[in-house]
Amino acid sequence: MTFPPLREELRGIAPYGAPQLDVPVQLNVNENPYGPSQSVVDDVAASVAAATTALNRYPDREFTELRTALAAYLNSSGGSGITPDQVWAANGSNEVMLQLLQAFGGPGRTAVSFAPTYSMYPEYARDAMTGWVVGHRESDFSLDLDAARALVLEERPTVVLLPSPNNPTGTALPPEAVSTLCAAAGDGIVVVDEAYGEFRRSGTPSALELLATHRNLVVTRTMSKAFALAGARVGYLAAAPEICDAIRVVRLPYHLSAVTQATALAALRHAAELLGRVDDLRAERDETVRWLREQGLEVADSDANFALFGRFEDRHAVWQGLLDRGVLIRETGPDGWLRVSIGTADEMAAFRQALTQVR
């Protein structure tokens, strides 16, 4: 039997994803190390059990209750006046962003970001058959705003992708940068990906504050990180209602299962409790950055739940040395740098001990 050849740009490409290895200390995919408490687990289980009585029916295609709960949460987390018709959700913010590319990208159109940037973005562009243009950040991973603006004016992208806090660097963009690029993008949309938004240091504002000022601004968030629900696959966005209407055209019908909606709704009822560990993680992050700098390493400023550090002549050897000692981190970012997710105090102690031995 023969198969049609893959689309040319897909040939020889390995599927995306970090290695899933069974090691004791997993600090490679920016998960929250603290699982939900028993009371949250019980409420999620009860909520899912209630949903199962109607599993013969398709779920609410508009997930209205969930959009209402997410709007309320966003208004308590840096936003104000966000209404449910400004909210959209999907199976992880990865799916939200792919849907944005499907709606606003396409042949003859371009998406722009600034490297180092989130490594999935070129994949969304490729899969939505959209051109991909990448500008560059400065050596401290900040954005040269004049150069960034010039690139946007030159390329006229329909989608600009700005992770803030950025992955893999952890650095956040100042609101002036977002405003300038929203103005430069004209009719294009500017997506500020705040997957790590809840981990911002005090004083770092959220782009949600700019939503009322810029009609072309989209802010994406996820329940995978601060909410500790990576396994549930729930991501969402806030934007003008017209942007949600455009996504409705490309989304698959009933893309958010009844089980997913019930899980997310139960989790949002416990938002305060689920987010209760964020302060511990921020403190552990600041301590990790401080310790790495004390070791004479370079460390990017981090507003996220991970730290990017270097520079190593042979980063793979360091990564492997840590793995040999049971600590899995991520080889990502510019050459010579490594990224470590922030785990529990015990996990970070194991990381520090292993890194000391490896160096």
Q: Which stretches of the chain bind ligand PMP, using CB under 6 A?
A: 30, 92-94, 118, 163, 167, 193, 195, 222, 224, 230, 235
* Closest to 307 measured CA to CA, from 357, 257, 352, 258: 352
CA distance 96 to 202: 27
146: helix, coil or strand? helix
Helices marked H in 238-277 — which ranges?
241-250, 258-269, 271-274
Q: 184 vs 264, which CB is nearer to ligand PMP?
A: 264
Q: 147 vs 230, which CB is nearer to ligand PMP?
A: 230
Q: 195 vs 243, which CB is nearer to ligand PMP?
A: 195
> Of all residues in this chain, which one has the CB nearest to ligand PMP in the complex?
92
CA distance 347 to 73: 30
CA distances from 213 to 194, 221, 239 (A): 18, 19, 11
Q: 94 vs 260, which CB is nearer to ligand PMP?
A: 94
Q: 239 vs 354, which CB is nearer to ligand PMP?
A: 239
In the complex, the smallest distance separating the C-beta of residue 315 from ligand PMP, rounded to whole angstroms, is 19
CA distance 145 to 178: 10
In the complex, the smallest distance separating the C-beta of residue 120 from ligand PMP, rounded to whole angstroms, is 7
Q: 79 vs 168, which CB is nearer to ligand PMP?
A: 168
CA distance 315 to 335: 8
In the complex, the smallest distance separating the C-beta of residue 56 from ligand PMP, rounded to whole angstroms, is 29
Q: Say if CB 199 and CB 226 are below 8 A apart.
A: yes
Owner of token pair 């270097």: 310
In the complex, the smallest distance separating the C-beta of residue 95 from ligand PMP, rounded to whole angstroms, is 7
CA atoms within 13 A on the CB side of 171: 21
- Amino acid, res. 63: F
Owner of token pair 């990381």: 351
Phi, psi of 106 (to 5 degrees): 115, 170
In the complex, the smallest distance separating the C-beta of residue 222 from ligand PMP, rounded to whole angstroms, is 3
CA distances from 226 to 162, 217, 289 (A): 19, 23, 19
In the complex, the smallest distance separating the C-beta of residue 224 from ligand PMP, rounded to whole angstroms, is 3
In the complex, the smallest distance separating the C-beta of residue 290 from ligand PMP, rounded to whole angstroms, is 23
Q: 177 vs 354, which CB is nearer to ligand PMP?
A: 177
